[in-house]
């Protein structure tokens, strides 16, 4: 049965997606292991070609985060431990476990693992926790793989930083997606029904000065 536009807009899943936002700052209230399991049971229901379940998650709590901090510094050729992992009480490492398959290439398996991470982020957000997916230059380095005990066929997709969501002190800037810019029809494709096929949306050209390019490069080095 088809839904009307208004019932689509009222859908709880859509409302949750529109509400979701990343929290760069979180407090020390982490979900318990049991709470996490309940949410993972939902997130793991992503579409999954051949039901390969090509993913696993690693919970990093307490001192685990310091071990990650040491691995991050080692990967960067530095001594000591980066304090970045201490920004949240719980980090969830998202791992794609790639297996050989005639039917399901590696990229499809990574897409499944990525889907789990997005669904879990949404589920945690809806459960009232703050979440931010973070990566960085060291994500796929040997030192970091070793710290997580990854095997050869496993690829890290980064970490969900999870904690309590503090009250926001500043009003949030609205974040909206202009859906029409992202949906088009095939070149030369048949038009069907009464709808006109929209032209392929063109990406807005952005003037990038040398200075802003430099600033961007420096920001991306700091990310993580």
Residue 21: CB minimum distance to ligand FMN, A: 4
Residue 185: CB minimum distance to ligand FMN, A: 27
Residue 70 engages ligand FMN in binding (rule: CB under 6 A)? no
Q: Which is nearer to ligand FMN, 19 or 33 (CB)?
A: 19
Name which position in 69, 130, 158, 163 contacts ligand FMN (CB under 6 A): 158
Residue 136 engages ligand FMN in binding (rule: CB under 6 A)? yes
Specify whether the CB–CB gap between 42 and 119 falls below 8 A. Answer: yes
Residue 134 engages ligand FMN in binding (rule: CB under 6 A)? yes
Residue 223: CB minimum distance to ligand FMN, A: 4
What are the Cα distances from residue 184, in Å, to 5, 86, 181, 188, 205?
19, 43, 8, 12, 19
Report the distance separating Cα 185 and Cα 23, nearest Å: 35
Specify whether the CB–CB gap between 93 and 60 falls below 8 A. Answer: yes
One character per residue 18-47, x = contact with ligand FMN (rule: CB under 6 A): ---xx-------------------------
Q: How many residues bind ligand FMN (CB under 6 A)?
A: 11
Segment near ligand FMN (CB under 6 A), from 41-49, 131-139, 184-192, 195-203? 131-139
Name which position in 87, 133, 143, 164 contacts ligand FMN (CB under 6 A): 133
Q: Which is nearer to ligand FMN, 126 or 197 (CB)?
A: 126
Judged by the rule CB under 6 A, the positions of this chain that interact with ligand FMN are 21-22, 132-136, 158, 175, 223-224
């Amino acid at each position: 049965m088809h839904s009307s536009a208004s019932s689509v807009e009222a859908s709880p899943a859509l409302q949750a997606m529109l509400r979701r936002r990343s929290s760069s700052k979180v407090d020390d209230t982490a979900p318990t292991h049991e709470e996490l399991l309940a949410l993972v049971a939902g997130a793991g229901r992503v579409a999954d070609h051949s039901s390969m379940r090509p993913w696993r998650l690693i919970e990093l709590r307490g001192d685990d985060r310091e071990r990650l901090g040491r691995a991050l510094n080692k990967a960067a050729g530095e001594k000591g431990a980066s304090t970045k992992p201490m920004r949240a009480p719980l980090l969830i490492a998202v791992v794609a476990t790639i297996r050989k398959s005639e039917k399901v290439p590696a990229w499809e398996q990574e897409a499944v693992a990525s889907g789990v991470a997005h669904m879990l982020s949404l589920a945690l957000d809806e459960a009232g926790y703050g979440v931010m997916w973070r990566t960085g230059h060291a994500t796929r380095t040997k030192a970091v793989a070793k710290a997580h005990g990854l095997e050869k066929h496993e690829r890290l997709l980064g970490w969900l930083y999870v904690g309590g969501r503090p009250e926001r002190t500043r009003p949030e800037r609205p974040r909206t997606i202009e859906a029409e810019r992202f949906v088009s029809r095939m070149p030369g494709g048949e038009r069907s029904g009464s709808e006109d096929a929209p032209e392929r949306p063109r990406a807005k050209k952005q003037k990038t000065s040398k200075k802003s390019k430099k600033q961007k490069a420096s920001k991306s080095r700091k990310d993580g």
